[in-house]
Structure 1
Amino acid sequence: MKNTTLILVILLFLSCNNKEKTKVVEMSCGQCQFGLNTQDGCDLAVRLNDKAYFVDGADIDDYGDAHDEHTGFCEVIRKAEVTGKVEGDRFKVTSVKMLD
């Protein structure tokens, strides 16, 4: 019985660490604003904890024209509340709420 309880506690702990979390991040073009150069063209990226990650699960044009002078991700860095997690060198996003 003790072994079963210990195994369940360990599994619960491991499953909690892998959950997606909601975070406020900077969101913009990885190439134009964050200096990422591992992909060609303009791609959506987030910066959290002073590190930038390309985004999987959302596209740079999902939030309007990427080259709009005032709101485009290739022109400005915007704040967003995102749900997702870092996997390797990419950010897997499941939801985005723009804050500005």
Structure 2
Amino acid sequence: MKKLIFLALLFTGLNMQAQDKEKTEKPQIVETACGECQFGMKGDACDLAVRIDGKSYFVDGTTIDEHGDAHAKDGFCNAIRKAAVTGKIENDRFKVTTFTLIKQK
């Protein structure tokens, strides 16, 4: 009986974890820019950030330099752009799984 209860609890926990991951990994369109230059975040250098539901988060999993010249006219230090992302917020940072910059019109 103890084994059955243990397995039921284990399955429930794994199922809840899978549901939580699905929610956090849902693709979304976010604002993205240099956290320090455009979003007023505290930091030591130009770092990529996203703004989700009005709150800004530094990004882990990709860098500001992987998406062009940050100091160009349309670069992250001079403009707020849009990106399609998947990932999740952990420890007040956005852990990106996918990051696709949306071309400006």
Say yes or no: TM over 0.5. Answer: yes
Structural RMSD (CA): 1.7
Relative to structure 2, which stretch is displaced further, 5-14 or 80-89? 5-14
TM-score (norm 1): 0.86
- Structure 1 consecutive aligned stretches of length 4 or more whose deviation exceeds 3 Å: 1-7
What is the Cα deviation at residue 6 of structure 1? 5.7
Q: 2: distance between equivalents of 1:41 and 1:14?
A: 35
Q: Which of the two has higher C-alpha Rg? A: 2
Q: Which residue of 2 aligns with 1:64?
A: 68
- 5+ residue gaps, structure 2, are none
Matched ranges for 1:1-100 at <5 A: 3=5, 4-5=7-8, 7-19=10-22, 20-37=25-42, 39-69=43-73, 71-100=74-103
Look up the SS of the partner of 1:8 in the other structure.
Answer: helix
What is the Cα deviation at residue 53 of structure 1? 0.3
The total of aligned residue pairs comes to 98
Look up the SS of the partner of 1:9 in the other structure.
Answer: helix
TM-score (norm 2): 0.83
- 5+ residue gaps, structure 1, are none
Higher helix share: 2
What is the Cα deviation at residue 15 of structure 1? 2.5
